[in-house]
Amino acid sequence: MLVGASSPFGSATRTAVLVALELLGESYARELARLSGSHLASVQAALGSLERDGLVAGRPAGRTRLFRLSPRYFALAELKSFLRRLSEAEPEIASRAERLRRRPRRTGKPL
C-alpha cells in the first residue's frame, strides 16, 4: 500500500489512482484498479471525486473513458513531483506499471 494510516489525498484509493496516473500518463478505470489492487467501484468513485476536485481530467474514447492528471491544475508540476516521490516508496507499483500492455494485441497473434 502506498500510504500508512493517513493518505495525503483523502483516501488510499485516491492516492493510488493519482500515483498510477503519474506513472502511466493516461489510463482507464479497470486498468487503474488492476494496477492499484483496488476494487473497480472504489476506483471509479475516486476518479469521480478527483475529477470534481480538478486533479484529474477525463475524456471519452469510444465506449471507454480515459483519465489523466489535469493539465489545468494550478500546481501540476508540484503534484507530479510529489507523486513521483510517493511512487519511489513503492517500487512494485512502478514495476507493475512498466509491465502493462500499452496497445491492443494484433488480431490472430498467438498469446
Write the pLDDT tens digit of every residue in 21-54: 999 999 999 999 999 889 999 999 999 999 999 9
d(Cα 29, Cα 61) in Å, to the nearest integer?
13
Neighbours of 66 (CB within 10 A): 16
- Single out the residue of 18, 19, 25 nearest to residue 50, CA to CA: 18
Domain ranges of the chain: 12-97
Q: What is the pLDDT of residues 7-25, one digit of tens each?
A: 789 899 999 999 999 999 9
Phi then psi for 86, rounded to 5 degrees?
-65, -40
pTM above 0.85, yes or no: no
Residue 101 clears pLDDT 70, i.e. is over it: no
Q: Please report the pLDDT score of residue 83 as a whole number.
A: 95
Q: Please report the pLDDT score of residue 84 as a whole number.
A: 93
- CATH for 12-97 (1.10.10.10, 3.30.565.10, 1.20.120.1200, 3.40.1280.10): 1.10.10.10
Q: How, if at all, do strands 64-69 and 27-28 pair?
A: antiparallel
d(Cα 94, Cα 89) in Å, to the nearest integer?
10
d(Cα 15, Cα 86) in Å, to the nearest integer?
9
Instruction: Name the band, by pLDDT with cuts 50, 70 and 90, for residue 3.
Output: very low
